[in-house]
Amino acid sequence: MQRLRFGIVGSGYMAKTHSLALRNLEGFLWPDMPRIEMVRLADINASLAQESARRWGWAEATTDWKRVTRADDIDVVVIITPNDSHEEIACDAFAHGKHVFCEKPLASSAASARRMTEAASRSGKVNMVNFVYRCWPAVQFARKLVDDGELGELRHFEGHFFQDYANAPDLQYAWRFDSARAGAGAGGDLGSHISDIAVALVGPIARVAASSRTYFPQRADGAAMRDVTVDDMMTTLVEFRSGATGSVHSSWAATGHKSDLAFTLIGSRGALSFSWERNNEIHLYTEAQQKDRSGFRRIMIGGIHPEAEPFWYAQGQGLGYGEAFVITARRLVEAIRKNDTSASPSFAEAAHVNAVIEATVKAAATREWQEVAGA
């Protein structure tokens, strides 16, 4: 494969992250990468489409997303639009023979996510979802420790993802505050990431109980006020299919927390913890340590660890948010080169996360435990 031609539907901030990742793939991974061509960016806002294309290196801009999904000069479609639009765009792309890379959560409902997964399966094309934190080197190393049995039988997962950008009464109304378009609030936007990590490390989630709060029940939309119909905070108890227990907390109104994703995983013979705010290290405890030297020890992540080898080799030099998107883009390209339609994070895996989100929202509303569909 000499080249891969990309199109992207959506613009703004996420166009920046994905575009920079695509532009950096060849630099980090040459000569193992095909030539990456950034052919076309689509957005319904014409001026934003033009500015985003110019700023982030796309050859063309358009207001018609079908000029991406149906174009003969595009091989891969990247979807970064609001959640409720993912299904139509992805299914159209699959129907026209494209590989699809979709932002998370996969859809605004579990049913929509299932339909997308079925369309992906019928197409025979690569389908992946941008769960960047799960693919992070430290998290992948945690997965290796689990697979190697270092922690023993997994007993408990505790994780959270807190930000505070929505802890502002003057923040304008946007699609994320509409349950019909987003599916959930912080529990979907941020909770999808930490739930995905939980599932990747421990296995499918079988049932949930939850409590939620909406701190800002209305937000300004220009001169008018509109009701907010999603959560600002979601706290969830989970039971995994394996019998392990856990808790998942998410909030975009968590005062003082800028991008605080963290988790602890406890097993019968060891435990580990990770924080995105110190994302080039994990803390590990195993019972194999000498008794007079026991306790958690810091492990610095570097080129010898999973997913980190194309970047800076030495431990301590560190990777950051931008490289996280390069890592998932690399996974995508390698899957396309190998025609690996089961590459991870897949639509099927993301559909389970959507089912967890939907069960969580229902559990918070009913104050009762809810089974996760398909688990």
Residue 148 within a domain: yes
Residue 154 within a domain: yes
Q: Which of 73, 105, 131 is the last residue of a domain?
A: 131
Q: Do 186 and 332 belong to one domain?
A: yes
Residue 97 within a domain: yes
Residue 12 within a domain: yes
pTM over 0.95: yes
Strands of 84-232, DSSP E:
99-102, 127-129, 154-162, 205-213, 218-221, 224-227
So what's the pLDDT on residue 275?
99
CATH of residue 147's domain is 3.30.360.10
Burial track 11-31 (b if 16+ CB lie within 10 A, e otherwise): beebbebbbbbbebbeebbee
So what's the pLDDT on residue 221?
97
Q: Which of 131, 151, 179 is the last residue of a domain?
A: 131
Beta-carbon-side half-sphere exposure of residue 203 (alpha carbons within 13 Å): 15
Q: Do 164 and 291 belong to one domain?
A: yes
Q: Do 162 and 231 belong to one domain?
A: yes
Nearest one of 300, 299, 303, 297 to 316, comparing CA atoms: 300
CATH of residue 21's domain is 3.40.50.720
Q: Do 144 and 254 belong to one domain?
A: yes
So what's the pLDDT on residue 313?
66
Domain that holds residue 62: 3-131
Q: Domain tally for the chain?
A: 2
Q: Do 154 and 123 belong to one domain?
A: no
- φ, ψ of residue 118 to 5 degrees: the values are -65, -40
Residue type, 270: G
Burial track 317-347 (b if 16+ CB lie within 10 A, e otherwise): ebbeeebbbbbbbbbbbebbeeeebebbbbb
Q: Do 93 and 224 belong to one domain?
A: no
Residue 347 within a domain: no
User: Cβ distance 341 to 187 under 8 Å?
Assistant: no
Residue 282 within a domain: yes
Q: Which of 99, 131, 163 is the last residue of a domain?
A: 131
SS3 269: coil
Predicted confidence pLDDT, tens digits, the chain (375 residues): 889 999 999 998 899 999 999 999 988 876 778 999 999 999 999 999 999 999 999 999 999 999 999 999 999 999 999 999 999 999 999 999 999 999 999 999 999 999 999 999 999 999 999 999 999 999 999 999 999 999 999 999 999 999 999 999 999 999 999 999 999 999 999 999 999 999 999 999 999 999 999 999 999 999 999 999 999 999 999 999 999 999 999 999 999 999 999 999 999 999 999 999 999 999 999 998 878 888 999 999 998 899 988 887 678 888 999 999 999 999 999 999 999 999 999 999 999 999 999 999 999 999 999 999 997
Cβ neighbours of residue 155 closer than 8 Å, sequence gap 6 or more: 244, 245, 266, 267, 268
**DSSP code of residue 217:** S
Distance (Å, whole) CA 105 – CA 285: 32
Q: Do 153 and 120 belong to one domain?
A: no
Residue 65 within a domain: yes
Q: Do 124 and 149 belong to one domain?
A: no
Q: Do 153 and 293 belong to one domain?
A: yes
Q: Do 93 and 219 belong to one domain?
A: no
Residue 375 within a domain: no
Other CB atoms within 10 Å distance of the CB of residue 154: 21
Q: Do 169 and 316 belong to one domain?
A: yes
Tell me the C-alpha to C-alpha distance, in Å, between residue 234 and each of 11, 103, 209: 28, 21, 10
User: Cβ distance 73 to 39 under 8 Å?
Assistant: yes
Q: Do 93 and 181 belong to one domain?
A: no
